[in-house]
Amino acid sequence: MAREITAFSNPLVKRMRNLRDKRHRREEGLFLAEGLRILTEAREAGKLPQYLFFAKDSASHPLTRALVAETEAAGGEAIETNADILSKLSGKDNPGAVVGVYPEFTVDLSDLNRDSAGIWLVAERLRDPGNLGTILRTADAVGAGGLILVDDCVDPFSVEAVRASMGALFTVPVARARWEEFRDWLRSGPGQLVGLSLDTDHHYRAPDYPAPTFLLTGNEAQGMPEHMAAECDVLVKMPMLGKADSLNAAVATAVMAYQVLDRQQR
């Protein structure tokens, strides 16, 4: 049976609230996810929270009931609370009906099966959590094998990134690696590396993109370093017909991912 917590001073609330900070997430190995849709996506992907906070007035919702039942059956704890506590946990003035606390999870490069998908997304030094979350959604939408974060990317388990992913964090494998580690792993098997670059005349619709294709998106402000661009099998550019000189990183990744999908499905 779910216990009730309504006091801001409760030690568990204070501890879970601290998970909005990266240092505390690393110490605890836990992260926050908020909203019925995202937590239901996680449940359907086989991932259940260690702690589930839910609003009293949402307890009768069938999705909430399913989350509570399966969380408790898996050994987690369901906690009935109020909107103020949920707001404190999520950092939103209008929080969702549920907040879940999950163990962090990532995979090693060695765990990835490059033959399992025709498209893989790779991002280096990505800084914006909204971009990371959006790229995860794109990865899910095109059936990508996973997202590989190269070098010092933003934390995929930040509240903002999890929220922007709309549940895709739970459905898309995420691996983290240094550039040299990724490069050596990539070259140990089949797969071409395609870089999105402004420093090429190669039109993005020109290549055939055989599977598996790894799409490399560089840092939002600086693009990819020269040594990484030199390692790419193909550099491609999208035509910019207006005054802007480039697309947002997540938008460019989505356009490219669907171009690859189109080529591979022909």
Lowest-confidence pick of 51-55, 122-126, 236-240, 242-246: 242-246
pLDDT band at 143 (very low <50, low <70, confident <90, very high): very high
Please check whether residues 70 and 168 belong to one and the same domain: no
134 and 23 in a common domain = no
User: pLDDT band at residue 222, thresholds of 50, 70 and 90?
Assistant: confident
Which of 56, 81, 103 represents a domain boundary (last residue)?
Answer: 103
Which residue has 């990266």 as its token pair? 22
116, 246: one domain: yes
The whole-angstrom separation of Cα 82 and Cα 7 is 9
Residue ending a domain, among 70, 85, 103, is: 103
Task: In whole angstroms, give the CA distance from residue 175 to residue 167.
Answer: 17
Q: What is the dihedral of CA 126, 199, 180, 125, to 10 degrees?
A: -10
Residue-wise pLDDT tens digits, 178-190: 999 999 999 999 9
Work out the pLDDT band at 36, boundaries 50, 70, 90.
very high
Give the whole-angstrom CA distance, residue 113 versus residue 258: 21
Q: What is the mean pLDDT of residues 103-128?
A: 95
Distance CA 110, CA 107 (A): 8
pLDDT at 95: 81
Which residue did the predictor score with more confidence, 198 or 245? 198
pLDDT in tens, 58-88: 888 999 999 999 999 999 999 999 999 999 9
β-strands 192-196, 213-217 pairing = parallel
- Residue 121 shares a structural domain with residue 232: yes
Indicate the burial class of 5 (C-beta count within 10 angstroms; 0-12, 13-18, 19 or more): middle
| Residues 48 and 162 reside in one and the same domain | no
Angle at 167 (CA atoms; ends 255, 264), nearest 5 degrees: 35
Check pLDDT > 90 for residue 93.
no
- As a whole number of angstroms, the distance between CA 141 and CA 90 comes to 26
pLDDT for position 71: 97
Q: What angle do CA 224, 225, 226 make, to 5 degrees?
A: 120
Among 57, 75, 103, identify where a domain stops: 103
- Taking the model in full, what pTM does it have? 0.93
| Cα-Cα-Cα-Cα dihedral sign, residues 146, 148, 149, 155 | positive
The region of weakest confidence among 46-55, 87-96, 152-161, 214-223 is 87-96
Give the domain extent around 246: 109-265
Confidence check: pLDDT of 249 > 90: yes
Q: What is the pLDDT of residues 166-178, one digit of tens each?
A: 999 999 999 999 9
Task: Report yes or no: 183 and 148 within 8 Å, Cβ to Cβ.
Answer: no
The count of domains in the chain is 2
pLDDT for residue 1: 62
**Predicted pLDDT at 112:** 96
Q: Give percent of the chain with pLDDT exceeding 90.
A: 84
Query: Is 220 or 133 the better-scoring residue by pLDDT?
Result: 133
Predicted pLDDT of residue 151: 96
Q: How far is residue 208's CA from residue 185's CA, in Å, rounded to a whole number?
A: 23
The sheet that has 213-217: what strands, in order across it? 174-177, 147-150, 119-124, 213-217, 192-196, 234-236
Q: Residue 199 — very low, low, confident or very high, per pLDDT cuts 50/70/90? A: confident
According to the model, what pLDDT value does residue 2 have?
75
**Residues 164 and 223 grouped into a single domain:** yes
Of the chain, the percentage scoring pLDDT greater than 70 comes to 100
For 86-165, strand residue ranges (E) read 98-103, 119-124, 147-150
* Cβ-defined contacts of 18-22 (< 8 Å, 24+): 19/101, 20/91, 20/159, 22/155, 22/158
Average of per-residue pLDDT values in the chain: 94
